Structure 1
Amino acid sequence: MYILECSDGSYYVGSTWDLSTRLDQHMSGTGSAYTSGRLPVALVYSVESDSIREVWEWERRVHGWSRAKRRALIDGRFDLLPGLSANRQATDDGP
């Protein structure tokens, strides 16, 4: 599972077996319709697993997160994650 930060400041969450190739695709504009219109992109987070099911479930979970919760994950602020649940209406002081 990986997170890209797009040129407009938005985050793209995806998963792949080959991160290097997938990043090349995103950076060339062929990775996804979403990122192709928001180049350049930068890899800001990635995690590996041998279980495709685990990675897919993790990706689906992060897709539902707020920007603030994704930023906490990217920054390694795992202590903030429980308090940033969607039902707590977290705010984001990001860029």
Structure 2
Amino acid sequence: MAYTYIVECADGTFYTGWTTNLETRVAAHNSGSGARYTRSRLPVTLIYYELQPNESQARKRECAIKRMSRKAKEVLVAGFTIT
């Protein structure tokens, strides 16, 4: 299993990625060892995720979300509750 996720950076921007371990990945972003994009925008907050059956599907969903407009991403994450 794998996850596609969105974090909100300290500057209000969104970063979308995929991982097999959500907690570890968010911690990596916040420690500065995550994606280059998030390193200068710390801290990040997990605001959305989807469980995918495998890494391939997670990567495909990541690409689909990255192609979405900011407004569409806001609609996607609206009302989503982290459990």
State the TM bucket, normalised to the shorter chain: 0.7 to 0.9
Q: Which structure's residues are more often helix, by fraction?
A: 1
Q: TM-score, normalization: structure 1?
A: 0.77
Q: TM-score, normalization: structure 2?
A: 0.87
Letter in 1 for 2:26: L
Q: How well do the aligned residues superpose, as a CA RMSD in angstroms?
A: 1.3
SS at structure 1 position matched to 2:6: strand
Aligned length: 77
Q: 1:55 aligns with which of 53, 58, 81?
A: 58
Structure 2: 5+ residue runs without aligned partners? none
Which has more radius of gyration? 1
1:86 match? none
The C-alpha deviation readout for 1:64-87, integer Å capped at 9, x for no partner, is 11100000000159xxxxxxxxxx
Q: Point out which structure has higher relative CO (alpha carbons under 8 A, 6+ apart).
A: 2
SS at structure 2 position matched to 1:15: strand
Task: Tell me how far apart the structure 1 counterparts of residues 42 and 31 of structure 2 sit (CA, whole Å).
Answer: 9
2:3 aligned with 1:4, yes or no?
A: no
For residues 1-95 of structure 1, what are the structure 2 equivalents within 5 Å? 1-76=4-79
Q: Which structure's residues are more often strand, by fraction?
A: 2
| Percent sequence identity over aligned pairs | 38
